[in-house]
Structure 1
């Protein structure tokens, strides 16, 4: 055989083998679809478990990127990144930032409450356990380090700020607001009639040598608490349960977990991203998680199937187990896709 033709023949053989190998992989690899989810950090653990069960059953790769809820949304609105599903820790963020340009519907589906987490290494935890109502006095102590997430990025952050404002009203003690927020950050306050407005600048700063620690999302504080770097942190009850952390419940009047006190919660409004065109005013209200599939979702059909699975019995059981019970009736806004109507109901 002509020696000049030999390399060509070998090359053709390699190409044929590679093509056949690729075809075999394509036809035998069941995971040819995918779903992209941008989610609140506090949803990561239950979503991971549901995604695992869905992937095992239907052979779909599910990519979950966790962050603060506001940050998750801004990945789409500001950075132009593609996603199929947006799942946030405050369902009101969807109409605030995504409707009507990115989606026309959403579903409020699960609840939670804010607690104060700690460990046996936390300073004064014995006092806290014996007298839970002393929580804010303990946080005021100079040798106690504590934290919450960034209000401009994460709902747990602006809820933590709101809870401190509500506590100052509930306990009738303005020093709570002054000592826990105003003296430690550049957050400002203004009172309008019976409403307390807490103003969070986009360039939120913590005072030098402060015992307050702020991180991008609430779950980022968990490792700091576990390591004893900080003593206490405001977290969702579900996060405390999932990470096996000790916690105390705050009074129902301020923990944002009891719909009975919705009117009282509304006495505090947190303004975030102040000084930018993204500025928003968020009235405190009972915690409800929200979810939607974006109009331009690259894998829209598969995403809707996954959402139906999530809202069904399997998802409900997993969320219950993780400390985030589903609502008795979902909150439905807009004309939701036909695939979800049997399980989600109609518009509220």
Structure 2
């Protein structure tokens, strides 16, 4: 009887072994053959919402998994250059960061494709918002009030942060009022200033600090401030207009001469230079200029072919419509640097 049962069990055991081997073989095949059907994107926080929507449409159409990891733009780049992490696409809020940090070791080309401007966001809970709405030019005087809490993102990690610092410098020139710089930056942080001819250099230490009991709040990336504004924890924050639109926040536009959104004032914007990561070998000087978003596919992208197809989709009509709807209109003509891949030339053009 025992021998009979053992004979009966043997086919069952063999069947289980075959099933396990088949399962493992299938898993191996899946994990190794679906790797090309995914894309990894490190992106600026202000690009997350439009990229998510474009990725959703692309995935629905082509069955590709797209992973988007948002952070400050400088931080996104340093994930690759400092931490050695793999990514296919880098998309940043300042196209100049790509040649500054990634060319030529990580990529040989990039495209500047969309624009924006910096605004001051608030809610009906924000102190003195009625004054601001009736007199938008009072914005900096309201921020100077001790009972008003306001913020911007970390200039060492996020372009909106160093642009906010630069805008405060530009405002001191535009309004001819040095107290703006002193009261909003110099007295609240360890940021320093030096004037060279008619250029204002704002020096941001790598170990940026905010003074104790200050009403200034700094967070890693600009979108991190949104929840604080919405909750009434802070009254105002410097944000991209697109972020304000996407999150349905109230905002006032700053003068074109300082909002970094009008190419007509590029020369005036350049009167302020923000030096970030000062005190490290990563120190960079960034002249203020009109906002232009940049994107590239890395040379060693693990899913390079699929990433190029996605980028072509993003730069096409679908991407353009989504970005414009989200408050980040495309440039009339893309800025192209380097010899871009053949797959993109029909839609992006050639080097400017």
Asked if these proteins are the same fold (TM beyond 0.5), I'd say yes
Q: Is the 8 A contact 2:43 2:73 kept in 1?
A: yes
Q: Is the 8 A contact 2:246 2:326 kept in 1?
A: yes
Query: What corresponds to 1:216 in structure 2?
Result: 220
Query: What corresponds to 1:259 in structure 2?
Result: 263
1:43-87 Cα offsets, whole Å, 9 max, x none, are 000000000000000000000000000000000000000000000
Check 1:124–1:69 CA distance in 2 against 1; reply closer, same or farther (3 A cut). Answer: same
Q: Could you tell me how far 1:181 is from its partner in structure 2?
A: 0.1
Query: What corresponds to 2:158 in structure 1?
Result: 154
Q: Could you tell me how far 1:22 is from its partner in structure 2?
A: 3.5
1:298-322 Cα offsets, whole Å, 9 max, x none, are 0000000000000000000000000
Q: Is the 8 A contact 1:90 1:289 kept in 2?
A: yes
Q: Could you tell me how far 1:3 is from its partner in structure 2?
A: 5.5
Mapping of 1:42-57 within 5 angstroms? 42-57=46-61
Distance in 1, matches of 2:34 and 2:63, equals 5
Distance in 1, matches of 2:86 and 2:8, equals 49
Distance in 2, matches of 1:304 and 1:280, equals 29
Q: Is the 8 A contact 1:31 1:60 kept in 2?
A: no
Check 1:20–1:81 CA distance in 2 against 1; reply closer, same or farther (3 A cut). Answer: closer
Check 1:328–1:7 CA distance in 2 against 1; reply closer, same or farther (3 A cut). Answer: same
Q: Is the 8 A contact 1:30 1:59 kept in 2?
A: no
Distance in 2, matches of 1:71 and 1:24, equals 34
Q: Is the 8 A contact 2:308 2:344 kept in 1?
A: yes
Q: Is the 8 A contact 1:32 1:59 kept in 2?
A: no
Distance in 1, matches of 2:42 and 2:249, equals 26
Check 1:7–1:206 CA distance in 2 against 1; reply closer, same or farther (3 A cut). Answer: farther
**Alpha carbon RMSD of aligned pairs, Å?**
2.2
Q: Could you tell me how far 1:31 is from its partner in structure 2?
A: 9.1
TM-score scaled by length of structure 1: 0.96
1:256-304 Cα offsets, whole Å, 9 max, x none, are 0000000000000000000000000000000000000000000000000
Distance in 2, matches of 1:275 and 1:169, equals 27
Q: Could you tell me how far 1:200 is from its partner in structure 2?
A: 0.0
Gaps of at least 5 residues in structure 1 are none
1:107-139 Cα offsets, whole Å, 9 max, x none, are 000000000000000000000000000000000
Secondary structure of residue in 2 paired with 1:3: helix
Q: Is the 8 A contact 1:152 1:272 kept in 2?
A: yes
Q: Is the 8 A contact 1:39 1:88 kept in 2?
A: yes
Query: What corresponds to 2:181 in structure 1?
Result: 177
Distance in 2, matches of 1:90 and 1:233, equals 19
Distance in 2, matches of 1:250 and 1:27, equals 50
Check 1:172–1:242 CA distance in 2 against 1; reply closer, same or farther (3 A cut). Answer: same
Check 1:182–1:28 CA distance in 2 against 1; reply closer, same or farther (3 A cut). Answer: closer
Distance in 2, matches of 1:230 and 1:329, equals 38
Query: What corresponds to 1:286 in structure 2?
Result: 290
Q: Could you tell me how far 1:21 is from its partner in structure 2?
A: 9.5
Secondary structure of residue in 1 paired with 2:57: helix
Distance in 1, matches of 2:29 and 2:194, equals 63
- Say whether 1:235 aligns with 2:239: yes
Secondary structure of residue in 1 paired with 2:29: helix
Q: Could you tell me how far 1:214 is from its partner in structure 2?
A: 0.1
1:3-33 Cα offsets, whole Å, 9 max, x none, are 6963872564562585399379959998961
Q: Could you tell me how far 1:331 is from its partner in structure 2?
A: 0.1
Q: Could you tell me how far 1:215 is from its partner in structure 2?
A: 0.1
Check 1:38–1:20 CA distance in 2 against 1; reply closer, same or farther (3 A cut). Answer: closer
Check 1:79–1:26 CA distance in 2 against 1; reply closer, same or farther (3 A cut). Answer: closer
Distance in 2, matches of 1:270 and 1:16, equals 60
Query: What corresponds to 2:340 in structure 1?
Result: 336
Check 1:201–1:7 CA distance in 2 against 1; reply closer, same or farther (3 A cut). Answer: farther
Distance in 2, matches of 1:17 and 1:277, equals 52
Q: Is the 8 A contact 1:30 1:60 kept in 2?
A: no
